[in-house]
Chains A and B, each alone.
Chain A
Amino acid sequence: MKRRDFIQKTAAAGLLTGLGGTALLNSGFIANSRKHITILHTNDVHSHIEPFPKTNADYPGVGGVAKRYTLIEKIRKENPNTLLLDAGDIFQGTPFFNFYGGELEFKLMSKLGYDAATIGNHDFDNGIDGLNAQLPNAKFSLLSSNYDFSNTVLDGQIKPYQVFKKAGLNIGVFGLGIQLEGLVNKKMYKETVYQDPVGITQDIVKQLKEEENCDLVICLSHLGYHYEHDKIDDLKLAKQTKNIDLIIGGHTHTFLEKPTITKNAEDKNVLVNQVGWAGINLGRIDFYLDDKNNISGKGATILV
């Protein structure tokens, strides 16, 4: 935790110094930026459709889909070029899931205008058949690039990535899921095959950059923020890959004070964010791009 803070502070401080302080940022900087994309995101909402009870010690009255929608609509009015994403574990945690099997979660996410989500381990809690049964209620895409569903009912229904066009820009979004063995009963995920996220990411990002001409690349990850041991996580993924602008994480229910700035394999900045769980928070990342769509050069400034 302390180390992470240190990295963030040095990175942010270094960038500000390089540009000569905030005065420069405030004057002329924004005017010169021609395109503005807003990314809103949630993770591990776990069927928390209603706000926490007013009697809850930690989060009285906080959260809930109806409040989140008010917030989202306000931001969309500020910037129509907004994408709304979720990093998985949509299901399980309240009787809404036990009673309706995820129907309400997917219907509400569709009403809120989610663009895409990835699949968390708990999204298999009613089995892969249970997830499949709810797909007609999802008007957004479920994305996963490292689960091979070829020999399952989900075959052909889950895309590895999707390219969204906003403000004339191509925004590539791809999904990554956690290793299921030992975490989810095999009976639930059946013949779903987990593949190494790093190798898959390198291939997908290359495709997004070179073939799909993406200006921005966003990873929706349910790998988890960070583990001390060897298990792959968002920070390790960022370090071992390139050309990802933003990793939106989940699984570890991590509350970050602010998005983490870390370095990729080319020593360029990558943002990693996760906003706790249960819909307590909404993450917001704003990308300002100039005409050359350059956002990851050395001059890029990250304010968190």
Chain B
Amino acid sequence: MKRTLFVIFSITLLLINSCKEEKEELKVSKIEGKQLRVQASIKENDSIKNFIAPYKNRIEEEMNTVLAYTPNTLSKEDGKYNTAIGNMMADAVLEMANPIFKKRTGNTIDGVLLNHGGIRSIISKGDITTKTGFNIMPFENEAVIIGLKGTQVQKMFAYLAKNQIAHPIAGMQLILDKNAAIKSASIQGKQIDPDKTYYIATNDYLMEGGDRMYFFGKRESQTYLDYKLRNIFIDYFTKYDTINPVRDRRFIQE
């Protein structure tokens, strides 16, 4: 009896196996692909959430630290050729970057040029916090000091006159006449000497031709300060209790 059962069992196995063999020769297989949304309704894993918590708390504490105060809301739309916020940012770069540049190279920054599009947010009236620095400058761009011959500086002024955008500047003055032609252009209060090398502070994005600032391409030198623009602004806010910049005559049309 047992023997018969065993035989039947073996035959069955053989049959199953032979079936399988045939299927295998079909060489079929399957791939399924889909995209799973990490839905709001999915429960957060507690151990991961708890691991993140101290990192998050420290960021929030630091982000909300009050660094300074501004009595007025500052917006990049408040002037045609220069704005209070842009002037503050360019002045901050000049003031904070110059000591480092001087220490490293023995030279002095003559002027600053940033870009209007790079002012990423307004500064609201009231407390200025670390977060303000992240809002106005969310990107990682850093300060770089470019050595430009006077002839290239002239091209820079021509660019500013042609574009008529309130790109933030410092250490320089550009006055356009009523036809928007250059009436006067000066750097550190003096006429441009075509043969002299001037040191212009900007950021790495603009140095590489961002906003079509191609005049930076023909440069004598470049010095990175390992100083992010955001940190420049945060340090500047830390240095002063009140930030109250104004529009002035650094870039105007008469």
A binds B: yes
User: What is A's interface to B at a CB cutoff of 8 Å?
Assistant: 19, 25, 28-30, 32-33, 49-51, 54, 60-71, 73, 92, 95-96, 98-100, 104, 107-108, 111-112, 125-126, 185, 187, 245, 256, 258-259, 271, 273, 275, 279-292, 294-295, 297, 299-304
B33/A285 in contact, CB under 8 A: yes
Q: Find out whether the CB atom of B55 lies under 8 angstroms from the CB atom of A259.
A: no
- 9-residue interface stretch from B37-45, B98-106, B108-116, B186-194: B37-45
Secondary structure call for the A interface = mixed
Which residues of B from 24 to 58 have beta carbons under 8 Å from A?
Answer: 24, 26-40, 42-49, 51-52, 55-56, 58
A282 and chain B: residue at smallest CB distance: B36
- B interface with A by C-beta (< 8 Å): 20, 23-24, 26-40, 42-49, 51-52, 55-56, 58-59, 62-63, 134, 140, 204, 208, 224, 230
| A25 lies within 8 A of B30 (CB) | yes
A-B contact pairs, 18 of them (CB 8 A): A30-B30, A32-B20, A50-B52, A62-B37, A62-B40, A64-B38, A66-B48, A69-B48, A95-B134, A258-B33, A258-B34, A273-B35, A281-B36, A282-B36, A290-B23, A295-B29, A299-B27, A300-B29
Q: Which residues of A contact B39 (CB under 8 A)?
A: 62, 67
By CB atoms of chain A within 10 A, which of B20, B29, B44, B45 has the most?
Answer: B29
11 extra interface residue pairs, beta carbon distance < 8 Å, beyond A32-B28, A299-B28: A25-B30, A50-B52, A67-B45, A96-B56, A99-B62, A108-B48, A112-B48, A281-B36, A287-B30, A290-B24, A301-B31
**Chain B hits for A284, CB < 8 A:** 33-36
Contact of A63 among B28, B38, B48, B52 (CB under 8 A): B38
A95/B35 in contact, CB under 8 A: no
**Shortest CB distance B162–A (Å):** 25
B27 contact from A54, A98, A297, Cβ within 8 A: A297
- Nearest CB of chain B from residue A99's CB, rounded to whole Å: 5
CA distance A185 to B38 in the complex (A): 33
Q: A62-B39, A65-B48 are in contact. Are A29 and B24 (CB under 8 A)?
A: no
Smallest CB gap from A94: residue in B: B59
Identify which of A28, A60, A70, A280 contacts B42 (C-beta below 8 A): A70
